Amino acid sequence: MSPATPAQGQNRGFVVPIGGAEAKRKDPVILERFVDLCGGDDARILVIPTASLLDETGPLYQELFEGMGARAMCIPIEQRDDCYQDKILDTLERASGIFITGGNQLRLSTILGGTPVARAIRRLNSEGVHMAGTSAGAAIVSEHMIAGGRGGPSPRESGVVLAPGLGLTNRAIIDQHFNKRGRLGRLLAALSFNPFACGLGIDENTAAFIAPDGVLEVVGHGTVTVVDPADLRHSSMSYVRKAEAVSLIGLKLHVLAHGSHFNLETREASLK
C-alpha cells in the first residue's frame, strides 16, 4: 500500500515514528517537537489509542499535549464499526496532527486497516497533516509492518511476522524498542524478503522525523539504526530450513544519534 499522492504544489506532512518509552514529563523533546511541528499553540492534535488496552493511555497523551499548549482530543476507536462513524471522520478532518499510541500493532491493523479512517489518515498526510506514532503506532506507519518475531542479533527463517501497515511510507520498514529488546535480527529478516525499503530500528525515547522530501532527522536520547539493502547481492532466505540463520551479503548499516540525518531517497547519511 503506497502513500497517497499530494496534489500539485502541496507538501505532504511529516511522518514521525517513535521507538516507544518517549520522555513525557521530564525533557519531553520529542513530543514538544511534534507539537511545534503541528502549529504550537494553534496545534490541533488527535490522539488514537486503539493499540492500547489501557483506558488511561489516550487521556494521558491528551493531557500531555494540552500541557504543551496544543488543543488535543482523544478518539477511542475500539472496533471496526467505529471507523465508519461520520463524527470520527469529521474530527480527523480538523486535525493538524495525528498521534497513534503504543500497544499491540495487530489491534491497529485489524481495526483500522482498509477502513475510511485509514484512508483518511493517508489522504490527510498527503495534504500536509503531520502524523506520529509511538511503539506500535510507529510500526504501522510503513507499507509493510513488523507485527512480531523473535529477538536476537541474527536474521532467521520464520524470524519475523509481517502484516500490511497504513502505508504512509513505502521507503522504510520500522522496528521499535530496537536495542532495548534486541531486534536487529528480525529487522534484517524483514528486509531479506524484498530489499527495496530501508530498515529503521528506532531506540526508546528516540524518533525519526521524516520530512516531505524523504530526509529524516533523529531526535532523542538513543539512536536510529539504518539498514540499507540497496546493494544487497545475496539473500539465503528463500532456501534455508525452518529457523535457520540467513546469509545477507552487501548490506550497509548506519547508526545515527540526535541531530543526524538520512535521506531515504538517495540513501545518504549525514551529521547535519
Catalytic site positions: 135, 177, 204
Strands (E), 23-180: 44-48, 71-74, 97-100, 130-134, 144-149, 160-164, 172-176
Nine cell digits for residue 76 = 477511542
Which residue, 77, 68, 139, is CA-closest to 97?
68
Which residue, 117, 114, 102, 120, is CA-closest to 17?
102
- Whole-angstrom Cα distance, residue 96 to residue 130? 6
Contact 251, 228 (CB under 8 A): yes
Question: For residue 77, how far is the Cα from the chain centroid?
Answer: 19
Q: What are phi and psi of 159, to 5 degrees?
A: -85, -5
Which residues lie below 8 Å from residue 67, measured CB to CB, with a gap of 6+?
A: none
Contact 214, 265 (CB under 8 A): yes
| CA angle (33, 271, 30) in 5-degree steps | 15
By the 10 Å C-beta count (0-12 exposed, 13-18 middle, 19+ buried), 170 is classed as middle
